[in-house]
Amino acid sequence: MNAGRTIGVAGAGSIGCFVGGMLAAGGRRVSLLARPRVIAEIEARGLRATSFEGFDRTIDAKEIALSDDPSVFGDAGVVLVTVKSADTAEMADIIARNAPSDVIVVSLQNGVGNVTVLRNRLSGRRVLGGMVPFNVISASEGRFHRATSGDIVIEQDEGDTAGKLSVPGLNMRATANIDGVQWGKLLVNLNNALNALADLPLRRQLARRPWRKLFADQMAEGLAAIRAEGITPVSPTPIPAGLMPPLLRLPDMIFEAMLGRTMKIDPEARSSMWEDLQRGRRTEIDYLQGVITEIAERRGLDVPLSRRVVELIHQAETAGKGSPGLTPEQIRC
């Protein structure tokens, strides 16, 4: 990776702006391909990256290349893809037309199929899988707030891309098993939809045992489907994936004590899917619970809760009224 070339962010939403902002704060040349609304916010107030850990830095708009024109990737050495899964193919074609032939493309997306899509459409370019474990809240006025803990994980390569992208406050580490890591993240992301349906901050949701038991049952269905595919998921937390369902079912006081030792969550953190419903955007439900239901159909497994959650999210998308604010009992019906 040439240190003199830019790091492009393809689809700079909440995650993309936070990561791009942290890279710029760390002295890297950064270009953001973003919507006009996001560009206008940053041009007016700068890009403010904050964290539950106390980090607070505003990067002047002049320190970042901001554009809704993909030609901004013309001198990129690395492009970080942060668009939603449904937009991966389109973004791959944009990168193919506008980025140099030797660019390194890193998927920092939810889901498990994006790297394959990128590789199929970016033949000859180096494409690496990645996983972002933390949640970012778009707090408006150009502020992007990291609300949970964890290091970004990137597929190991000979050029040590993960190490070269790391900056203070944004550690990236390499893994030789990115497939397992991404499947492990998918299991955790099954709570995205539950949080979106609950209309509660993540911490308040996870503090309530009925919600945790619902999440545990979702994870159990997910684990059964993934294991039927012969896949061993790697947990993005210190707790192994197979131990998560029984841990989630523990009484509140015991769970709270264990959570505090393994993961930090901002009191106002919510899932990206909740934000999608509030803003009337398409969600990634088909790339999360939808993956589990697809495997179950092929393998003859019973995953009624996953099917129910997919149905409820699609209903909320169609209604266009934000989160329906359901209870665990209503979701189980």
Residue 145 half-sphere exposure toward CB, CA atoms < 13 A: 17
High-pLDDT (> 70) share of the chain, %: 98
Structure tokens at 161: 């891309």
DSSP at 263: -
Domain boundaries, the chain: 6-176, 179-332
Identical fold between 6-176 and 179-332: no
Predicted confidence (pLDDT) per residue in 279-318, tens digit: 999 999 999 999 999 999 999 999 999 999 999 999 999 9
Instruction: Look at residue 98 and tell me whether its pLDDT is greater than 70.
Output: yes
Residue at token pair 């909320």: 316
For residue 79, CA distances in Å to 27, 36, 107 come to 17, 20, 9
Residue with tokens 């030789």: 176
- Mean pLDDT for 49-72 is 95
pTM value is 0.93
Please check the confidence at residue 139 and state whether its pLDDT lies above 90.
Answer: no
3-state secondary structure of 127: strand
Pairing type for strands 172-175 and 143-146 reads unpaired
Q: What are phi and psi of 325, to 5 degrees?
A: 60, 50
Res 261: pLDDT: 64
Provide the 3-class DSSP secondary structure of residue 199. coil
Span 182-237, pLDDT tens digits: 999 999 999 999 999 999 999 999 999 999 999 999 999 999 999 999 999 999 88
Residues 112 and 182 sit within 8 Å (Cβ to Cβ): yes
Q: Does domain 179-332 have CATH number 2.40.37.10?
A: no
pLDDT in tens, 162-189: 999 999 999 999 999 999 999 999 999 9
Check whether 322 has a pLDDT greater than 90.
Answer: yes
- Asked if pLDDT for residue 33 goes beyond 80, the answer is yes
| β partners of residue 65 | 31
Q: What percent of the chain has pLDDT over 90?
A: 88
Relative orientation angle of helices 304-319 and 289-299, to the nearest 10 degrees: 140
What are the tens digits of pLDDT across the range 222-280? 999 999 999 999 998 888 899 999 999 999 988 888 766 667 788 889 999 999 999 99
Local structure of 110: helix, strand or coil: coil
pLDDT of residue 303: 98
Q: How far apart are CA 255 and CA 271, in angstroms?
A: 20
Question: In this structure, what token pair is assigned to residue 241?
Answer: 């994936």
6-176 — its CATH code?
Answer: 3.40.50.720
